[in-house]
Chain A
Amino acid sequence: MPLLEISHLTHYFGGLRAVSDFNLSLEHGELIGLIGPNGAGKTTIFNLVTGAYKASEGSIKLEGQELVGRSPHEINSMGISRTFQTIRLWGQMTVLDNVRVAHYHSIRYGLMDVFLQLPRYQKQEREIEEHSRELLRLFKLEHYAYEPAMNLPYGVQRRVEILRAMGGRPKLLLLDEPAAGMNPNEIGELMDFIHWIRDEFDLTIWLIEHQMRLVMNICERIKVLDFGETIAEGVPEEIQNNPRVIEAYLGEQGEVA
């Protein structure tokens, strides 16, 4: 069974068709890319998969379970985490607390456990703290643990956002333009980093990106979207030479240098 199976996904904003008959089958461990010009509907698809929007038509299945109609927090607890195009960390909270919040769905204690300070509460909070610190250590961010997230350099905030997404112990990680605003050096590091988290956490990764260098280098498969429609799909070499893709990006007369 594929990890994620999207069939005939269509979404309207009022009368505007933002996504039209989108299909995708994602196997465990894959690393795939979704590209397309601005406004093609890429982020809308992420919002549909994570439940931020409810799909108008079609189905999204995670390990055979339907996601359409479920609330975002349920979908997150089933194993999908994401980052955002513009950083959406909780800026005034410390890095450690940002990660701890992302563990929310795995905690099972109740109000009485807290009022009476029962071991269940203390044990679970301790486990979260330990897991959060373990993640910080693996990401080499432990020295930022008590720093409010908004005080960190931009590139570090990007990594903290991915770190926070890992707090929910996802199977599938959605990265929305992870390289946005990064310089070529940082993009190089990010590529290694994405490979590393996939192997380290046994993840499946689906990313949206405009940086062609990153997409063509690390994605095993690429889908291209234009005005809500899938116009191409394949391995990076196929995409680079596909005339429809070139047209969508550069206009009809264009050439890829």
Chain B
Amino acid sequence: MDLNFLVQQFLNALQLGSLYALIALGYTMVYGVLLLINFAHGDIFMVGAFLGVFGSMVLNLPFVPTLLLSMVLTAILGVVIERVAYKPLRHASRLSAVITALGVGLLLENGMLALTGADPRNYPENFIVTETYDVAGFSISNVKILIIVLSILLFLGLYAIVQRTKWGMAMRAISYDKFAVPLMGVSQDQIISLTFILGTGLAAAAGILWGVAFPVLNPYMGLRVGWKAFIAAVVGGIGDIRGAFLGGLLLGFVEIFVVALGQPFGISSTWRDPIAFALLLIILVVRPTGLFGVARRQKV
């Protein structure tokens, strides 16, 4: 096992982990304000990736405009889903809302299947031209660097919004005590819409970057990735955006390095998910609230 191999695996892990992280942010934010696990979020990620196909193949747009277009359209979709499907259930039991979320996910998957067919899609070849640089003897691809840097920038932008704007502070306040928030002059609808805008926008960005890194897009791609990102959010401590980001990175590292380090010992790569999730389960046994989570009191 040479050093170059390890560096490659490190970059792979950062790439995969930052994509999980971008998706996990959406789960954690929605949970923070609504206490709803938005099981449609993985499929929203898929829609983001497909809107990228629309932008690049149909409209022939280059990378950056496609990314922005997909983020904006997906954010609008997120707000519409919240208004139509979740808002009427805001005072219903949480189980009803979760089931509705599952239904919305099925609608998106099968709607996309009906619209685009089952053939896997990918982005045009000139979308991002892969180049490999030689840095101090290590070969580093521009795609990986782009994904890692863009993910970190998006996370930092989100973190700044949550820490330093009126909406971010209201979001945190809602997650601590919902009743007092509107009585202090905060419009709850506004905050919830904004949460969906930010969460689904980031999922769309993750969708496009995913399509650049792993160019096989199909309408069910959001299922596995979505579940994994959800687990990453839980491991990080659901409700905390730092936790979601860290949980995503952690999951990426565990997955990649189970394969990389297991190979010499004859552990096949099919063991990747079982071993990865066993490790995450152990983390949850030790820290049931996740890495950043705080136990909250609940009235039952």
Contacts and interface: CB of A to CB of B under 8 A. Distances in A.
B182 interface: yes
Contact of B166 (A72, A82, A104): A104
B182 A100 contact: no
B177 interface: yes
A71 B187 CA distance: 9
Mostly, the B contact residues are: helix
B186 A90 contact: no
A73 interface: yes
B185 A125 contact: no
A25 interface: no
Contacts of A115: 157
B185 A77 contact: yes
Interface of B: 157, 161, 164-166, 169-170, 172-173, 176-177, 179-188, 194, 294
Contact of B187 (A73, A81, A93): A73
B183 A72 contact: yes
Given A100-B169, A101-B170, A125-B165, A92 B294 contact: yes
A92 B183 contact: no
A125 B188 CA distance: 20
Interface of A: 50-52, 71-73, 76-77, 81-82, 84, 88-93, 97-98, 100-107, 111, 114-115, 121, 125, 128, 164-165, 167-168
Contact of A82 (B161, B172, B183, B294): B183
A164 B165 contact: no
A168 B164 CA distance: 19
Contacts of B181: 101
Contacts of A121: 165
A103 B173 CA distance: 13
Contacts of B172: 90, 92-93, 97
B35 to A, nearest CB: 16
Contacts of A105: 185-186
Given A72-B182, A73-B186, A77-B185, A103 B176 contact: no
A222 B185 CA distance: 28
- Most A CB contacts (10 A, CB to CB) among B157, B177, B294 go to B177
26 contacts: A52-B183, A71-B187, A72-B183, A73-B182, A73-B185, A76-B182, A76-B183, A76-B185, A77-B185, A88-B177, A88-B180, A89-B177, A90-B180, A93-B176, A97-B172, A101-B169, A101-B184, A101-B186, A102-B184, A104-B185, A104-B186, A104-B187, A114-B161, A121-B165, A125-B165, A167-B184
Given A101-B166, A103-B166, A104-B166, A90 B173 contact: yes
A81 B185 CA distance: 9
- Most A CB contacts (10 A, CB to CB) among B161, B164, B166, B294 go to B166
B170 to A, nearest CB: 6
Contacts of A93: 169, 172-173, 176
Nearest to A115: B157
Given A103-B185, A104-B184, A105-B186, 8 more contacts: A50-B183, A71-B182, A76-B184, A90-B173, A104-B166, A104-B186, A114-B161, A121-B165
Contacts of B184: 76, 81, 101-102, 104, 164-165, 167-168
A239 B136 CA distance: 87
